[in-house]
Amino acid sequence: MGLMRHVVCAMSGGVDSSVAALLLKRRGYSVTGVFMKNWDSLDESGTCATERDCEDAYRVCQSLDIPFHQVSYVKEYWHDVFSNLLKEYEKGGTPNPDIICNKHIKFNHFHKYAIDTLGADAMATGHYARTSQEDDEVFQQPHIPPPTTLFRDRFEIRNPVRLYIGADRLKDQTFFLSQISQEALKRTMFPLAGLTKEFVKKIAAEAGFDHVLKKKESMGICFIGKREFENFILEYLEPKPGNFVSIEDGTVLGKHRGWFTLTLGQRARIGGLKKSMFVVDKDIVTGDVLVAPDTNHPHLYRDTMRTDRFHWLSVDPPPELVRTQMLECHFRFIHQMPLVPCTVTLNMDGTVWISLSQPVRALTPGQFAVLYKGDECLGSGKIVQLGPSEHTLQKGRERLVAAAQHKEQPTPEPTS
């Protein structure tokens, strides 16, 4: 019998990571379960259920007869994730903590802990995603430290691992993995790659994991718990009151406690106003939050955006994009939103412009533009600039038509 490979499985106390650990053990690997604590719930008045999740993960490891560890990344999470979130909110953006957490914590600090400290041959998670390599190939990946200089050896032979949508397209989580490093991807296994959520639940039921099956799916942001977002964020950022202003006629409709408590597209709660208003824009210079009376107001729809330096999962941009400076692919900026056809233009500084085949509602700075080519997730870039809205374009067209009509009118003859 060959060498038994050691795999460290990230355990969250949920059904997906529990079944991932079970499947790894069934395949004959030496498995260690590790629970990550990323937020200090003792500092919060809300409910985060960290201790219960840890206990649930421990019970699964006991039933599988595998070692269990707990590791804390509270400080790292604060510095690498949460501090950056606060800066993004202050700039008027709306960040995505799940993507940032995977990049900095789970697939960086935790990945290094699994490989370097626990001596694992690979790491595994319960994500619904798959890669281009078989399990055996994961263990054959040599450790190549990232280049210390800006440019790597151009003659270096690269066989990048690709990230693909999992078998359960509805539960696919490649969106949340779009910022992780190639080094981490090469040494990571996704045991649920070929399974559907329903089948995973069936496996969990047969294994007697009733305590994790009964838990509700975690959908919100863990550190907020059951509190309203506005009250939570105002614990960390000073209130900066401003006006709700109608984009239709410039009327001041009410007051808000800070633009960072609101995001584009959401309903604005304005006291004394009977009709519903929706956030369509923010001006962090004046503090005004612009609102409109329609959830589908034209000012919420745009079809172009620019990202910061794009993170390609395979390190290099697709050859077609490098060769022609343009790439036809698909886009989303919200998990599970329908993929939208788009054209990507590569800039000299590594940023990209993305032009969509149709306007999309509430494109939001700070969110990540995630690109797909077929079933492959290419990577993502943070949205830093938006193109003009449909409302702005329509106003521009109206002005052009009015100017043209004015030109066509005959000049009256002077009277003698």
Active-site residues, by number, are 101, 222
Q: Answer yes or no: are the C-beta atoms of 13 and 212 closer than 8 Å.
A: yes
Q: What is the DSSP letter of 176?
A: G
Q: Answer yes or no: are the C-beta atoms of 86 and 235 closer than 8 Å.
A: no
> Can you tell me whether residue 385 is helix, strand or coil?
strand
The encoded tokens of residue 337 equal: 């939103």
Q: What is the DSSP letter of 402?
A: H
- The DSSP bridge pattern shows strands 368-373 and 376-386 to be antiparallel
Query: Alpha-carbon distance 188 to 191, whole Å?
Result: 10
Sequence-distant contacts of 54-58: CB under 8 A, at least 24 apart = 54/13, 55/13, 56/13, 56/14, 56/211, 56/212, 56/215, 57/11, 57/12, 57/13, 57/17, 57/18, 57/33
Sequence-distant contacts of 75-80: CB under 8 A, at least 24 apart = 76/38, 76/104, 76/105, 76/109, 77/38, 77/39, 77/101, 77/105, 80/104, 80/105, 80/109
The encoded tokens of residue 237 equal: 């950022």
Query: Alpha-carbon distance 300 to 152, whole Å?
Result: 42
DSSP string, 24-87: HHHTT-EEEEEEEE-S-GGG-SS---HHHHHHHHHHHHHHHT--EEEEE-HHHHIIIIIHHHHH
For Cα atoms 381, 384, 389, give the angle at the middle one, nearest 5 degrees: 115
